[in-house]
């Protein structure tokens, strides 16, 4: 996010949050391009479905330390 008069007057936390959103959007755009490159015969809707699955994928066992628990967690 470039320093502009608007961002200079913003709360630094808001600037960092905006930057995080911008980075997320850039990552999604990059994944969409990767999917199109790897699957050139797919329709736009099929690419978007693969992208949706990519965004909603669950962590694989062993991708972090700790105990594997079901998600969403049920309340007791």
Q: What separation in angstroms does the CA of 5 have from each of 8, 9, 14, 37?
A: 5, 6, 14, 39
Residue ranges covered by each domain of the chain: 8-52
For the chain, 76 residues long, the average pLDDT of each consecutive 10-residue run is 67 90 96 97 96 78 70 74
User: How confident is the model at residue 39, as a pLDDT?
Assistant: 97
Residue 45's Cα: distance from chain center in Å?
19
pLDDT at 3: 61
**Alpha-helix runs per DSSP H in the chain:** 5-8, 12-38, 44-56
Q: What is the per-residue pLDDT for 54?
A: 87
What pLDDT sits at residue 24?
Answer: 96
């Amino acid at each position: 996010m470039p320093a502009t008069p608007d961002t200079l007057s913003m709360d630094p936390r808001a600037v960092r949050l905006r930057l995080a959103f911008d980075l997320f959007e850039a990552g999604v755009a990059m994944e969409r391009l990767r999917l199109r490159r790897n699957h050139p015969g797919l329709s736009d809707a099929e690419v978007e479905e693969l992208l949706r699955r990519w965004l909603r994928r669950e962590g694989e066992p062993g991708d972090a330390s700790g105990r594997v628990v079901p998600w969403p967690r049920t309340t007791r």
